[in-house]
Structure 1
Amino acid sequence: MRVPVSWLREYAPLPAGVTARELAARLIAAGLEVETVDELGADVTGPLVVGRVLAIEELTGFKKPIRYCQVDVGAANGSGEPQNIICGARNFSEGDLVVVALPGAVLPGGFAIGARKTYGRMSEGMICSAAELNLWEDHAGIIVLPEGFAEPGTDAFGPLGVRDDVLDIAVTPDRGYALSIRGVAREAAIAYGVEFRDPADVPLPETADGAAGYPASVADPALCSRYVLRGVTGFDPDAPTPLWMRRRLAMTGVRSISLAVDVTNYVMMELGQPLHAWDRARVRGPITVRAAHRGERLETLDHVKRALDPDDILITDESGPINIAGVMGGLDTEIGLESTEVLIEAAHFDAAHIARTSRRHQLSSESSRRFERGVDSAVQLAAATRAVRLLAELGGAVVEDAVTHLDLGAAREPIALAERHAARVAGVDYPPGAAARRLREIGCAVTEAEDGGTLLATPPSWRPDLSDPNDLAEEIIRLEGYENIPSIPPRAPAGRGLTPGQRLRRAVGRGLAGAGFVEVLSYPFVGERDLDGLQLPAGDDRRRALRLANPLNDDEPLLRTTLLPGLFKALARNVGRGFGDVALFETGLVYHPRAGAPDRAPMLAVDRGPTAEELAAVEAALPEQPRHVAAVLTGEREPAGWWGQGRPATWADAIEAAREVALAAGTELVVRAAQHEPWHPGRCAALYVVGAEGEVAAGYAGELHPRVIAAFGLPARTAAMELVLDRVERAGAPPTAPEVSAYPVATQDVALVVDAAVPAGEVEAALRDGAGELLESLRLFDVYTGEQAGAGRKSLAYTLRFRAADRTLTAEEVSAARAAAVAAATERTGAALRG
């Protein structure tokens, strides 16, 4: 919300010496997020005055029309003589009042004005447009001031509002009242202890029948608790928006369109109540507020035909839908350039419906932003009245006495609050009466209960966020000053460090980072499209996902059951930005619904601790949340250079990433061929960890299926792995210091010929088991298939390193260990020594 300080001062008479930055500091201390203070017009200096065009001479012979003007600028030029100015604009005539920058002025962008010869004449200044002064968007030409605006020679800075300070406030969802000058002015008045002048305090029409105006009805009070219609006739559609209104709208970030639309926007910015204006001649029959019917459609003001949802709130007449309530109007009833009868709507719609509708249709408007944060439920009649009176004052309209005012809301109940509750929460000894005084300042009606220690506070209509005693305590604390709360750092209990799980996660991160992977964090939300892209079969457990009640994105309404979709999207973004060699990993929770769990977790009370039964109910509703680790990589794993050829990333690198995780946990990883989505059926490995319970399935790794690569837009031959980190942790062993032997190592090579279908991992396991305790390490260094190995056979060459901790091994001991390893491999895999 952009708040011009000059507009705010109309309703909060701040001390004269208060600067915009001082005001911003006070508002920040009170809990508003003032992001910037913009000093508009600070770069405009020098003489800028009002002038009257006395004569215009049309110059010919140039590529574009040029006018040589004589302008009366009073005594501002020091001589009182008319100022001669060259101008190319065509939207003004002799006798018009204009804005003149005299020599010596500097306009936005450092554009200095001087006297110079151009088009064969001496030009002594510049006749200015709104765009040249950064006042508002206007491509019609120079500013033509209304008659009587000011006398020639008058300084134009003040009357035009060239210089002003604007606060840019980031309004949080719980403070919808701050999306208005009214709401911020109230906070400023409280901060400085001055009287607040409520702009909504306008004389309201006296009507005995709230439905005496244009016929209207509300089908369901839960959708709309208050509905107001006011009309005007005889409106002049050619009436211009006054300069002061255009300037204020521009400072708040709203573009001027026409007087009727500008008035509704102006009142919305002033009071925080969105309004809608119809051409009443185009509305057919009574108006009804109701939920949409399935299959209904509406063409909105942006010329898009939208399919409506039964959750949408509609404004309808006899022809059907004419508005998506609170979001955008329909094209058929739009105010046009010939509209003389205007119908103003002000309503209080349900915030949750508007928020869902805005997100569903991807329409975020100034109106929807206010409705979804909660608008004042009692300001509608005042807002509509303010709008029609502005239409009468500025557009020559006649305000109709009849008013439609449907009030279907219930009165708010008082909230009981212990007078010392805020003091106990903050740990500050507030003076007696401070709680009641602060609550009255924000608009609460406060009475004291019979016990003398309890306050009964009824929140004002513009604060729907105040619903329990702790909300009221927060208001008291923030207005008394957060800076008054003492800072008492908590004491960490002695002797506690990282948990084993935390140490493992850090070790895994260090290991994968050291292997060249970069950690990413993805949103834990996925959609059915993501699960389809993984090529998961219908019965796959990963398709059983929890659905969010209020998703951030309708395309991703599910909690993830695998980390892979988020990694794939991050990889695709990086590749799309020109990074072809990418290796990413992520550690995070996935979510699996429990069988028989309730759809929603119970809401716990905030005024006391939960009981054991309540905690058990919450626990029963929570999903299982195992921690996973996953990695994805593509491109060159080893870059090419002067040192030689590079090497592309393959399925083997994905398996090696899983080995890094197992190594960090202190466990062994067993790899076996498998088929599992989303991996390529011929290049997929099942991963098992070996612990006290034996081998436990922990995940999969390999090259992704081509259909998965196409679905997520990944490069060909992309590889990935995913492990259940909790299972790896349970199988792991506590870290131990390695034993370093001072005795020499004995190296033996062995080449074994086996059937091509025998996995190398099985041969390696047999060699390890047969070699015994003297084996220090084993490495596969060559795989050969060819004529010498035989048809359907392959040769695997290993290097075996033997070492003893207490002696130098003899040649006989090394040979015996090697022979035992070969014998075990022969017995278990049918291997034969290669000749």
Structure 2
Amino acid sequence: MRVPLSWLREYVDLPESVTGREVAEKLIRAGLEVETVEQLGGDLKGPLVVGEVLSIEELTGFKKPIRYCMVNVGEANGTGEPQEIVCGARNFAVGDKVVVVLPGAVLPGPFPIAARQTYGRTSAGMICSSRELGMGDTASDSLGGDGIIVLPPEYAPGTDAVELLQLVDEVLDIAVTPDRGYCLSMRGVAREAAAAFGLPLADPALLDVPPANSYGYLVKIADPVGCDRFVARTVVGIDPAAKSPIWLQRRLQKMHVRPISLTVDITNYVMLEVGQPLHAYDRARVDGPITVRRAEPGEVLTTLDGQKRELAAEDLLICDNSGPIGLAGVMGGASTEILDPVADPETGQVTGSTEVIIEAAHFDPVAIARTAKRHKLPSEASKRFERGVDPEAARAAAQRAVDLLVLIAGGTAEAGVTDIVGPQPVRTITIAADLPDRVAGTAYGRETVARRLQEVGCTVVGADLLEVTPPSWRPDLTDPNDLAEEVIRLEGYDNVPARMPQVPPGQGLTPAQRTHRRIGVALAGAGYVEVNNYPFLGDQAFDELGLAADDVRRRTVKLVNPLNDEEPALRTTLLPGLLGAVRRNIGRGNTDLAVFETGLVFLPEAEPKVAPRPAVDRRPSEAELAELNAALPAQPRHVAVALAGERLPSGWWGKGGQAGWADAVQAARAVAAAAGVELTVRPGQAAPWHPGRCAELLVAGTERVVGHAGELHPRVVKALHLPERTSVMELDVDALTADGEQLVQGPTVSGYPVATQDVALIVDGSVPAAAVEAALRDGAGELLEAIRLFDVFTGEQVGEGKKSLAYALRFRATDRTLTADEASAAREAAVAVAQERTGAVLRGV
């Protein structure tokens, strides 16, 4: 909504010193979004005057037509002599009144004007077009839409054209939010400005309007829900040759509305002024009474834009005996439009519409919004109706249009007044006088609350408990909190004190939250970068991972209204999103990756339950909440990592280390350590991992499988366009911590020296190294501080089908220095248990 400051001053008596930016600041403090303040004519300097063309000499011999004009500018040039001006435009004639800029002036640009020699003549000034004066591209033909501005004949030569054309002004551009539909009018913005400056409002809708009578144009309302008010007025004897005055055209131009014809300009002007959309019908082209009804099957309408539209049953129509003549609240029909004035080339007599029916109605916002969207036909009228129009403004808007037609076009208003009013229930809101105080955390007091609500237009009755009746132009005020917001915004959001809330002490993090945080910190500390992906996927993701048709992960929870038709389901695994992030990074040149994600997966129940629909006017009961939660699918938390490229970077120090399955397994161990759980790792087989390079992860001491880790299957790597040897791990955190939160013990620090013992054991190739390590750990006892596998050897020396595993064992006591005998005894005990459990044979070192 564009708001010229000069127009705004007609309704609010702003001090002369107040600028557009100061008004914008006040409106912003009141909650309006003022985007810009445009300075019109800021660099324009006179003299710019009205001139009368006395003579025109056509100059020949040039590439384009040139005219040498003598123009009477009165005493503006200081001599009273005609002004010599060279001009190339041809849309004016001798005797026309034009706009002349004289030497010494500056036009927008800036473009200084000086006398100069051109085309063999002296040109002392310029005859101006609307674009040269910065009037924009919305000028009508009479104001230079396609050439030179030709003014009405009544203006005397030498008249100041800057004031006449209202070239200097400030225009506020306001982004009106959907709940502030009343601000799509000068009346609405003026009300906000009056409240912001504490000044009275001159309401343009306060007009003397004759009461309804039986002589008005016959109107029938067949759908009182779609149209609860319809005002019709008739004006006859309109002069079709009458044109919109300059002040009216200029105000429309400043609002970025192109002047068209007098009747149409007046309806647009009143809509912008009062906020009530109007429509004008040529009475001579209306067949019988006007009817408001819904569309019938097979009906069509040609609208003013020339488009033939097939109507839907929900469309609200304006009809006469011939059928539809307009889409109510959206756009009129071509069959009854106001005819453009046409002059007879021989007689000069102008013909056009001389009798007009003015419609000012109030339509259902939802019906208008749906019709405009259905037909892809947004209009200035529909934009206002769908946001809420003041139904009480219809009579005043119609009267305002009638007055302007009578004043400018010489018409006569018929005595008949049609005003059909449907039921208008009174909306009363009960609000505690201290509610704004409690919401804002400050003291306004009852008097301030009542005063601010009255400034909005409300009627306020009561003391501690206020009975508030919102005004008809504020359909958005429906509950006490709306009223509290009005008080707070008018008092100024910047005046609301900033205080820290007094919150009761909390219970801290839940065990699950503590575990989740420790896992994230552990992986980040190990060099992984956290990513977050959308939890949506489609069947293609499962195909790329090579999941079997009966794989349980293919059973998903489907969304009723997915964001993407290709991803209609919720994830059952984190791998598709995580590997997609890896692929995008690889595509952007980031080839060395170690990323992780923690998040929920969604597992459907065998027999899904239908969630109930709770009421929206109150909080659901505990039973309803329990029923809602019971209908939700299982949502365990998973953690997954993905690695590609180098885990250790290459450099001058040597070749780096490639990321592999062992890193994925180690990530699982880091997660388990952060959760206070010990993992057992054994060979496994599951999609999408490589069959021979997949580890199955179990909680130590149980057969509870909580995840897998290893290298991706080559077919999966190829399908997803990933680097070779890409490795991943996914682990069910909820299953990992199913025994409850574990106490994570910090490492014991001892000041005594460590005793290191190495041991090499030969075992069958099928024996997992983890099983040998577990046996050594159990046999070594309390003195064992750490154990590390540092070598794996196969070859003729150890025998076919055998492998040698070399471990470094670190022993330490917390209260003494270990002797060599104690360390050796612990080592021998560890080897004995390993021999017993795994059949290991001690290899000589």
TM-score higher than 0.5 here?
yes
Pairs aligned (count): 796
Q: How does 1:650-799 map to 2 (within 5 A)?
A: 690=699, 695=704, 733=742, 736-738=745-747, 743=754, 766=771, 769-770=774-775, 772=777
Structure 2 distance, partners of 1:418, 1:61, is 84
In structure 1, the partner of 2:69 is 69
* Contact 2:280 2:359 survives alignment (8 Å): yes
Match of 1:415 among 416, 429, 438: 429
In structure 2, the partner of 1:266 is 269
* Contact 2:664 2:728 survives alignment (8 Å): yes
In structure 1, the partner of 2:348 is none
Structure 2 distance, partners of 1:152, 1:6, is 25
**Structure 1 residues 708, 163: closer, same or farther in 2, change over 3 A?**
farther
Structure 2 distance, partners of 1:463, 1:271, is 14
**Structure 1 residues 719, 764: closer, same or farther in 2, change over 3 A?**
closer
Structure 1 distance, partners of 2:423, 2:705, is 61
Deviations 1:785-806 (A, max 9, x none): xxxxxxxx9x999996654454
Cα RMSD for the two superposed structures: 6.2
In structure 1, the partner of 2:613 is 600
Match of 1:437 among 451, 471, 483: 451
Structure 1 distance, partners of 2:335, 2:493, is 51
* Contact 1:630 1:720 survives alignment (8 Å): no
Q: How does 1:282-321 map to 2 (within 5 A)?
A: 287-290=291-294, 312-315=314-317, 317=319
**Per-residue deviation, 1:199:** 1.5
* Contact 2:53 2:72 survives alignment (8 Å): yes
Name the SS of the counterpart of 1:379 in structure 2: helix
Which amino acid counterpart does residue 24 of structure 1 have in structure 2?
Answer: A
* Contact 2:33 2:174 survives alignment (8 Å): yes
* Contact 1:523 1:566 survives alignment (8 Å): no
Match of 2:474 among 442, 463, 471: 463
Q: How does 1:580-595 map to 2 (within 5 A)?
A: none
* Contact 2:301 2:311 survives alignment (8 Å): yes
In structure 1, the partner of 2:173 is 168
1:614 maps onto 2:621 in alignment: yes
Which amino acid counterpart does residue 244 of structure 1 have in structure 2?
Answer: W
Q: How does 1:342-361 map to 2 (within 5 A)?
A: 344-355=358-369
* Contact 1:161 1:247 survives alignment (8 Å): yes
* Contact 1:181 1:270 survives alignment (8 Å): yes
Deviations 1:357-394 (A, max 9, x none): 66677665544443343222322333344345545555
* Contact 2:642 2:729 survives alignment (8 Å): no
Structure 1 distance, partners of 2:239, 2:575, is 58
Structure 2 distance, partners of 1:261, 1:152, is 30
Which amino acid counterpart does residue 48 of structure 1 have in structure 2?
Answer: L
Which amino acid counterpart does residue 274 of structure 2 have in structure 1?
Answer: L
Structure 2 distance, partners of 1:593, 1:334, is 60
Name the SS of the counterpart of 2:209 in structure 1: coil
Name the SS of the counterpart of 2:163 in structure 1: helix
Structure 2 distance, partners of 1:99, 1:522, is 64
**Structure 1 residues 640, 557: closer, same or farther in 2, change over 3 A?**
closer
Structure 1 distance, partners of 2:803, 2:46, is 88
In structure 1, the partner of 2:204 is 199
Structure 1 distance, partners of 2:819, 2:499, is 64
**Per-residue deviation, 1:115:** 3.6
Q: How does 1:156-305 map to 2 (within 5 A)?
A: 156-209=161-214, 212-218=217-223, 221=225, 223-230=226-233, 241-256=244-259, 259-276=262-279, 281=285, 287-290=291-294
Name the SS of the counterpart of 2:187 in structure 1: helix
Match of 2:391 among 371, 377, 394: 377
* Contact 2:578 2:596 survives alignment (8 Å): no
Name the SS of the counterpart of 1:34 in structure 2: strand
Aligned sequence identity (%): 45
Higher Rg:
2
* Contact 1:53 1:72 survives alignment (8 Å): yes
Name the SS of the counterpart of 1:378 in structure 2: helix
Deviations 1:783-835 (A, max 9, x none): 99xxxxxxxx9x999996654454999998999899899989989xxxxx9xx
Which amino acid counterpart does residue 15 of structure 2 have in structure 1?
Answer: P
TM-score for both structures, normalised by structure 1: 0.72
Name the SS of the counterpart of 2:193 in structure 1: helix
**Per-residue deviation, 1:185:** 0.7
Structure 1 distance, partners of 2:657, 2:375, is 48
Q: Return 685-694 or 338-347, whichever deviates more.
A: 685-694
Structure 1 distance, partners of 2:644, 2:63, is 58
**Per-residue deviation, 1:664:** 6.2
Name the SS of the counterpart of 2:621 in structure 1: helix
Q: How does 1:480-519 map to 2 (within 5 A)?
A: 480-482=491-493, 485-491=496-502
**Per-residue deviation, 1:184:** 1.5
Structure 2 distance, partners of 1:673, 1:657, is 17
* Contact 1:778 1:798 survives alignment (8 Å): no
* Contact 1:588 1:628 survives alignment (8 Å): yes
Which amino acid counterpart does residue 442 of structure 1 have in structure 2?
Answer: V
**Structure 1 residues 649, 370: closer, same or farther in 2, change over 3 A?**
farther
**Per-residue deviation, 1:144:** 1.6
Q: How does 1:140-159 map to 2 (within 5 A)?
A: 140-147=145-152, 150-159=155-164
Unaligned runs of 5+ in 2: 140-144, 342-351, 544-548, 779-783, 795-800
Unaligned runs of 5+ in 1: 756-761, 785-792, 828-832
* Contact 2:2 2:174 survives alignment (8 Å): yes
**Per-residue deviation, 1:196:** 1.3
**Structure 1 residues 816, 431: closer, same or farther in 2, change over 3 A?**
closer
In structure 2, the partner of 1:129 is 129
Deviations 1:740-776 (A, max 9, x none): 7874877899999989xxxxxx957556545536695
**Structure 1 residues 18, 566: closer, same or farther in 2, change over 3 A?**
farther
Deviations 1:430-488 (A, max 9, x none): 4564444333322223344xxx6443322111111222334334334444455555444
Q: How does 1:532-547 map to 2 (within 5 A)?
A: 544=557
